[in-house]
Structure formats: structure tokens, C-alpha cells
Amino acid sequence: MLVLPPELTHRQATACLQMLLQGLRVHRESGVVVDASAMTVFDSSALAVLLECRREALSVGKTFAVQGLPTALRGMAGLYGVGTLLTPVS
């Protein structure tokens, strides 16, 4: 499981994405789950990071899901029309 930091705004986006992509490269399972439950401060950059991580996971044949997506970020994803791409896992 890959874990997002408590804060993910434009300022942290590049470093966070690099961390996630590195984790994805060493992740051996067929499915990637990103845990977003620690996130308390975020902006739309968090969506961009998650969508890029998803794109990369799918490009190497892995499934992708987000767990613990904060309600406000889930709402933002819905407004942008990408909510179904970040389907939370149960």
C-alpha cells in the first residue's frame, strides 16, 4: 500500500508524485492501493497526483484504487468529473 502525506498541495505535489511512482515501481502486487486517510490539507494538485499515479499503474497492467479519500477531496473529484477514476476500496 502506498500512503499519502497529511498535506498535499501544489507545493508538495512533485515530490509526492515522485515518491508514489518510486513505490509503484517496486510494488510487486497486481493491484495498487493508495491510502489517503492521513490527508487533512490538500488542493486540486492532490487529484493531479492521484490521477498520474493511476495512469502509471494502469500503464504497467496494475489495478488502482484509493482508500480513505477525504470527503472534500471526493467531492472535488466529482466536480471535475474524475470521481469514478479514484474509486475508494472498502
- Please tell me the predicted confidence (pLDDT) of residue 88: 56
67 and 33 Cβ atoms separated by less than 8 Å: yes
% of the chain exceeding 70 in pLDDT = 97
10 and 45 Cβ atoms separated by less than 8 Å: yes
Q: What is the mean pLDDT of the chain?
A: 92
Q: Per-residue pLDDT averaged across 35-55, rounded?
A: 96
pLDDT tier, 90 (very low <50, low <70, confident <90, very high otherwise): very low
For residue 49, what is its C-alpha cell? 497526483
